[in-house]
Amino acid sequence: MTSDEATHPTVLVQVDHRHAQVDELLAPAIEAIWRSGFETFTCCQDLGESNASWVETLPHMAGYVESRRGWALIDFPIDSGLAFLSAVANAGPRDAFYVRMTHWAAPDAWDVMVKPMDVAMRQEHLESQFRLQLLQVSFPAYDLPELTRRLREHAAGHSVAPAPTDWSTVGR
């Protein structure tokens, strides 16, 4: 299935009670995430493409939009996001992929942020009250095949024993 409303072509992903139209390049990863029992909020297969129209009305966003071309995003509830990161890290070797996902200074390092949310953003009659709800994981889209493979390994109960890591790309 595809949706005419989305920036990217979408397909229906359904796992048990969960179902959603998901960007087609992210669909296998989202299916594997759900099969592993992790919850998600939203996702996007290319943030630069999805947000390109922002530049017309928000010129200050041009640098951000350009820097996010080729980068995917998955939003999680915080606990699910942390469990997702642990599962992906433990289901593969401590290689360049692992270094990208764990160290901020690595080439093409994943951008993992906890986003405080103010309830007053959606209910403006309320006083501001910030809550930690969202763990946002952004990564180069070229990591999707390995990410999906590792999630499937995790779901199958496979893990890789801890081993030394080559940290030379981050100066360690």
| Residue 99, burial from CB neighbour count under 10 angstroms (0-12, 13-18, 19+) | buried
Q: Rg for the chain (alpha carbons), in Å?
A: 17
What is the mean pLDDT of the segment spanning 97-104? 97
In angstroms, rounded to a whole number, what is the distance separating the alpha carbons of residues 102 and 82? Answer: 12
Residue 2 lies in a domain: no
Lookup result for tokens 């928000």: 58
Q: What is the pLDDT of residues 127-168, one digit of tens each?
A: 999 999 999 999 999 999 999 999 999 999 999 999 999 999
Residue 66 lies in a domain: yes
Residue 119 lies in a domain: yes
What residue numbers bound the domain in which 47 lies?
10-161
Residue 47 lies in a domain: yes
Residue 128 lies in a domain: yes
3-state helix, strand, coil split of the chain in percent (to 5) is: 40, 25, 40
Residue 168 lies in a domain: no
Q: What is the pLDDT of residues 6-65, one digit of tens each?
A: 688 999 999 999 999 999 999 999 999 999 999 999 999 998 888 888 888 988 988 888
Q: For the chain, how many structural domains are there in total?
A: 1
At residue 2 the predicted structure's pLDDT band, cuts being 50, 70 and 90, is very low
Residue 41 lies in a domain: yes
Burial pattern 119-130, b for ≥16 Cβ within 10 A else e, equals: eeeeeeeeeeee
Residue 111 lies in a domain: yes
